[in-house]
Amino acid sequence: MHDDLISRLAELSTLTDVPKEELEWLVRHGELKSFAPGLIMKKGEKADKLWIIIDGRISVHIDRGTGPKVVNTEIGKGTLTGFLPYSRLKVLPGDVYADEKTDMFYISVDHFTEMINKCPVFTGCTVHSMIDRARIHNTSAMQDEKLISMGKLAAGLAHELNNPASVAIRDAKLLKKNQTEADEAVKKLRQCGLDEKQFEIIEDTRSECIKLSLNISLTPLQKSDLQDEITDWLEKNHINTIDTGQLANLGISTKILNNLIIFVPGNAFVIALEWILASCSIHSITTEIEQSTTQIYNLVEAVKKFTYMDNLAEKEQVDIETGIIHALRVLESKSKSKNADIKLEIQNGLPSVFANGAALNQVWFSLLDNALDAIPDNGRIKICARNESDFVAVRIIDNGSGIPAEKINKIYDPFYTTKSPGQGTGLGLDLTRRLIRAYNGDIFVYSEEGRTEFCVNLKTG
17 and 104 together in one domain = yes
Out of 118, 147, 170, a domain closes at 118
Q: Mean pLDDT highest for which of 69-78, 191-200, 312-321, 390-399?
A: 390-399
* pLDDT at residue number 417: 55
Distances (CA, A) of 267 to 187, 190, 192, 258: 14, 13, 8, 15
Spatial distance between the Cα atoms of 7 and 205, rounded to a whole number of angstroms: 101
Q: Is residue 126 part of a domain?
A: no
Out of 264, 279, 301, a domain closes at 301
Spatial distance between the Cα atoms of 33 and 107, rounded to a whole number of angstroms: 11
Lowest mean pLDDT among 67-71, 86-90, 223-227, 293-297: 67-71
279 and 187 together in one domain = yes
DSSP label at 411?
Answer: T
* pLDDT at residue number 424: 43
Mean pLDDT of 324-343: 86
188 and 273 together in one domain = yes
List, for residues 103-159, the tens digit of each pLDDT value.
999 899 899 889 989 989 988 888 888 777 666 666 555 555 555 556 666 666 676
Average pLDDT, the chain: 81
249 and 336 together in one domain = no
For the chain, the domain total comes to 3
Spatial distance between the Cα atoms of 78 and 86, rounded to a whole number of angstroms: 20
Spatial distance between the Cα atoms of 441 and 392, rounded to a whole number of angstroms: 9
Q: Is 159 helix (H, G, I), strand (E, B) or coil?
A: helix
pLDDT of 421 > 60? The answer is no
Q: Is residue 129 part of a domain?
A: no
- Return the higher-pLDDT residue of 147 and 232: 232
- For residue 285, report the phi and psi dihedrals to the nearest 5 degrees: -70, -45
DSSP states of 191-243: TTT--HHHHHHHHHHHHHHHHHHHH----HHHHHHHHHHHHHHHHHTT--SS-
- Which of 142, 161, 140, 120 minimizes the C-alpha distance to 74? 140
Q: How many helices (H) and strands (E) does the chain have?
A: 13, 15
Any idea what the CATH number is for the domain that residue 390 is in? 3.30.565.10
DSSP states of 236-304: HTT--SS-HHHHHHTT--HHHHHHHHHHS-THHHHHHHHHHHHHHHHHHHHHHHHHHHHHHHHHHHHHH
Strand 391-398 and strand 353-355: the pairing is unpaired
172 and 71 together in one domain = no
Spatial distance between the Cα atoms of 292 and 303, rounded to a whole number of angstroms: 17
DSSP label at 460?
Answer: B
Mean pLDDT of 87-105: 85
- Which of 305, 309, 324 minimizes the C-alpha distance to 458? 324
Q: Is residue 147 part of a domain?
A: no
What residues have CB less than 8 Å from 274, skipping those under 6 apart? 181, 185, 242
- Which of 271, 229, 283, 235 minimizes the C-alpha distance to 252? 229
19 and 75 together in one domain = yes
Spatial distance between the Cα atoms of 144 and 426, rounded to a whole number of angstroms: 11
Q: Is residue 414 part of a domain?
A: yes
218 and 243 together in one domain = yes
Range of the domain at 29: 2-118
Q: Is residue 73 part of a domain?
A: yes
243 and 367 together in one domain = no
pLDDT of 223 > 80? The answer is yes
400 and 428 together in one domain = yes
Mean pLDDT of 275-287: 85
70 and 205 together in one domain = no
* pLDDT at residue number 420: 47
- Return the higher-pLDDT residue of 4 and 295: 4
Mean pLDDT of 8-34: 89
Q: Is residue 125 part of a domain?
A: no
Residue 119, CB half-sphere, CA atoms under 13 Å: how many? 26
197 and 174 together in one domain = yes
Any idea what the CATH number is for the domain that residue 89 is in? 2.60.120.10
282 and 406 together in one domain = no
Q: Is residue 109 part of a domain?
A: yes
98 in Cβ contact with 60 (< 8 Å): no
Q: Is residue 123 part of a domain?
A: no
- Which of 79, 85, 80, 81 minimizes the C-alpha distance to 110? 85
Q: Which residues pair with 453 in a beta bridge?
A: 397, 446
Out of 301, 329, 364, a domain closes at 301
